[in-house]
Every structure is written in C-alpha cells, then in structure tokens.
C-alpha cells in the first residue's frame, strides 16, 4: 500500500504565497482607509495639496495685507497721515479731471475764501481761482517728490549697503565718494545746476526731483553703512555665506529688509526736502515755469505785498497751508510705517488671523485692549 507524501508541492506553495500577498494588500488598503480616511487615494492627495496652497495664500494675506492694515488702523498717526497723503494723491491724479484750469479775469479780483462755492479758496489779484491753481500744482509737486525720494533712497541704500557689507577697498572708495557728496552744500549746488541746464530739462518735474536730490543721498548711505557693519556679523548672514548665496541676494534680500523702518523714514524725509527746495527755487525765480505752482504763487503774492494786506492774505496762506499739510502728512505716515516694517509688531498683528488654530483669541483680545 502506497503512502502519499504530506509535504506541499511547489504549486501549492506558490498559490499560498500569492494569496498572502493579496490578503496583505487588502489589509493594508483597509487599514489605510480606516486610519487615514483614504489619504493615499488620488482625490485625497489633490485635496491635501489644495489645503496646503490655501494655507499658504492665507499666510501671505495675513503677512502683507491684514497685518499692515491692522497696524495702520490702530495708530492715529497712520490714520491721519494716510488720509492727508491720500487726499493729495487724489488731487494730483483725479483732481485735474474735475477741476478746470483757471485763467485771468475768470472771477473778481481778490475774492475772499469761503464766500461762494464757485471760488471756495478765493482768487488772486488777477481773478484766478486759487483752488484750481492748488489742484493743478499738486501733480507737478508729487512727480518731483516721487523721483527725488526714490533717487535719494535708492542710491543711498545701494551704496551704503555694499560699502558696509564688502568692506576693504570697496568700502574705502565708496565711503570717500559718500563723504564728498556729504560735504557739498546741496542748495547752492542745485541753484548752480539749475542755471546750467536749459528750460527743456528744467521743465520736466521728474528731472527736477532728481536734480534736487543729487547731493542728498550721502547721509543716508553713511547711516546704512554703519548699520550694515553690525548686521553682517549676524548668524543668518554667516549661514547664507556658508550656503554659497550670492552677495547681492544676501545684501538686498536678507539684510536690507531689517533696515526698512530706517529706509522708510528717510524716504518721507527726502520727499519733504524735495518739496521745500522746489518751492524755494520757484519762489526765487531760479526754476522756470509755464503753469502756476505753489512756489510761483508765493512769489506773486509776496510781490503784491499780500502778506501785509488783510484783503489779500488768503492769497499768501493758501499755498503755505498746502505745503504744511503735505509735509505733516508725510511725517506722520513715515512714523507709522516704522511700525509696519517692525518685525515684532507685524508678528503680533499676524496672529490676529490665526483663529483657526484656536490659540490666538486670548492674545488678540489682549492686544485689542492695549490698542496695539
């Protein structure tokens, strides 16, 4: 009688192995669905990607939109300064579309302000509307402020940053150039240059803004250089150097953002300086003009002795108040933007949008109570 062997054959072993693989795969799928909710499926991966992208957009909105607006809204200086600057921007851009240019004998001579809606700020001795003159002068002044402030801050930041970061011979050369421009008397230089250029160049407000700022960047460059000497020794700068990051990237993307509060304050101060110098040069008759502006209005008012005549004092005060208000607005806006670019203040206000995390409510209420 023959006994059959009880040992499994190769076919039986192969079938058992395949069954085990199928069972393990099904068990792994079931376990993944039960524990993770099916994260491994294509639909779940897409959903997770969309959620990540949504979080990134929320953080960008939080950092660059919500936090600055929150800081500005809670600071009375920012509200006042931003409102004043916004009014002047509307006057310089949209104002000329609604306010027609004035002309001689348009109205009665030396009409007092606030007597009629037709001439709310009064008229000069030739019957020209002072409101129209002020509105149409604003666009020219704003162009000068923009070009002059950007030129001053741009040149000063670039030269000061490179000189402080590189050191050595580069620092020596750039610092020597900076010292030369610091010691040049700015206003007399502008007067001489204004007499050298022709009327075609001096008739361009952007060119005048650069001309007025040609010697104003030296002090900013020297201040930024001193700050750069300290920041280049920080650990994050050394880490960037060890990673082989380029000099321009380290300077302008890693270090300069830490100097933004100082840069913004100098930006507004440079704009105020351009306004004062431009008005002074127009008042003195050094810069030619085709249309009336704040400086030329003051010149004509002073020539007519308006500052000593009660019936014409408004002719002298209207351009003066226009200059004073925009200067105050730029000053307040610059002081408030210092808080906007302050990393610690921004970090506190960025947490106000983190309600979904559940841990920012108490701190937000505390900040609201403190008025931060």
Count CB atoms within 10 A of the CB of residue 194. Answer: 18
What structural domains and CATH numbers belong to the chain?
87-349 (1.10.3720.10)
pLDDT above 70 covers a percentage of the chain that reads: 78
Identify which has the larger pLDDT, 147 or 265. Answer: 147
pLDDT above 90 coverage of the chain, percent: 28
**307 and 238 in contact (C-beta within 8 Å)?**
no
- DSSP string covering 234-267, please? SHHHHHHHHTT--HHHIIIIIIGGGGHHHHHHHH
Joined tokens for residue 215: 């010697």
> Above 60 in pLDDT, residue 215?
yes
Over residues 168-178, the mean pLDDT reads 92
Residue 53 pLDDT > 90, yes or no?
no
The rounded distance, in Å, linking the Cα atoms of 219 and 215 is 9
Q: What is the pLDDT of residue 372?
A: 40
What is the residue whose two structure tokens read 């990237």?
Answer: 249
248 band by pLDDT with thresholds 50, 70 and 90: confident
**Residue that wins the pLDDT comparison between 118 and 360:** 118
User: Is the Cβ–Cβ distance between 88 and 326 less than 8 Å?
Assistant: yes
DSSP annotation of 308? G
The Cβ of residue 351 has, within 10 Å, a number of other Cβ atoms equal to 17
pLDDT digits (tens, 9 = 90+) for 249-285: 888 888 888 888 888 888 899 999 999 989 988 888 8
What pTM was estimated for this model as a whole? 0.74
Angle at 214 between CA 213 and CA 219, to 5 degrees: 75
Q: Which are the contacts of 305, defined by CB distance < 8 A and separation ≥ 6? A: 312
Strands (E), 275-317: none
Mean pLDDT of the chain: 78
Sign of the dihedral defined by the CA atoms of residues 357, 363, 364, 365, in that order: positive
Work out the pLDDT band at 25, boundaries 50, 70, 90. very low
Query: pLDDT at position 34, please?
Result: 44
Half-sphere CA count of 95, side-chain side, radius 13 A? 19
Distance, CA of 40 to chain centre: 45
> For 9-13, 193-197, 224-228, 368-372, which range has the lowest pLDDT when averaged over its residues?
368-372
């Amino acid at each position: 009688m023959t006994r059959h062997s009880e040992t499994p054959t190769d076919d039986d072993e192969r079938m058992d192995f395949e069954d085990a693989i199928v069972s393990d795969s099904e068990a792994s799928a079931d376990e993944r669905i039960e524990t993770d909710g099916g994260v491994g499926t294509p639909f779940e991966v897409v959903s997770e990607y969309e959620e990540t992208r949504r979080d990134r957009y929320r953080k960008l909105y939080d950092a660059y939109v919500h936090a600055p607006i929150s800081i500005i809204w809670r600071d009375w200086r920012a509200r006042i300064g931003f409102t004043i600057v916004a009014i002047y921007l509307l006057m310089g851009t949209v104002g000329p579309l609604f306010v027609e240019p004035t002309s001689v004998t348009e109205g009665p001579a030396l009409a007092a302000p606030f007597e009629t809606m037709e001439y709310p700020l009064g008229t000069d001795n030739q019957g020209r509307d002072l409101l129209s003159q002020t509105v149409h002068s604003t666009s020219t002044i704003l162009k000068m402020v923009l070009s002059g402030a950007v030129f001053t801050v741009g040149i000063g930041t670039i030269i000061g940053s490179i000189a402080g970061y590189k050191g050595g011979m580069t620092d020596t050369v750039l610092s020597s150039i900076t010292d030369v421009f610091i010691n040049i008397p700015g206003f007399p230089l502008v007067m001489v240059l204004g007499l050298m250029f022709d009327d075609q160049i001096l008739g361009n407000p952007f060119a005048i803004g650069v001309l007025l700022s040609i010697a104003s960047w030296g002090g900013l460059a020297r201040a930024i250089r001193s700050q750069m000497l300290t920041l280049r020794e920080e650990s994050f700068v050394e880490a960037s150097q060890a990673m082989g990051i380029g000099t321009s990237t380290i300077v302008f993307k890693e270090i300069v953002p830490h100097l933004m509060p100082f840069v913004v304050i100098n930006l507004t101060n440079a704009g105020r300086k351009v306004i004062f110098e431009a008005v002074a040069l127009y008042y003195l008759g050094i810069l030619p003009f085709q249309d009336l502006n704040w400086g030329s209005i003051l010149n004509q008012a002073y020539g007519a002795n308006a500052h000593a005549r009660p019936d014409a004092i408004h002719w002298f005060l209207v351009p003066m108040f226009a200059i004073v208000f925009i200067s105050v607005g730029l000053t307040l806006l610059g002081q408030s933007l210092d808080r906007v670019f302050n990393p610690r203040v921004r970090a506190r206000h960025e947490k106000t949008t983190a309600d979904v995390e559940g841990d920012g409510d108490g701190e937000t209420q505390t900040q609201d109570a403190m008025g931060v």
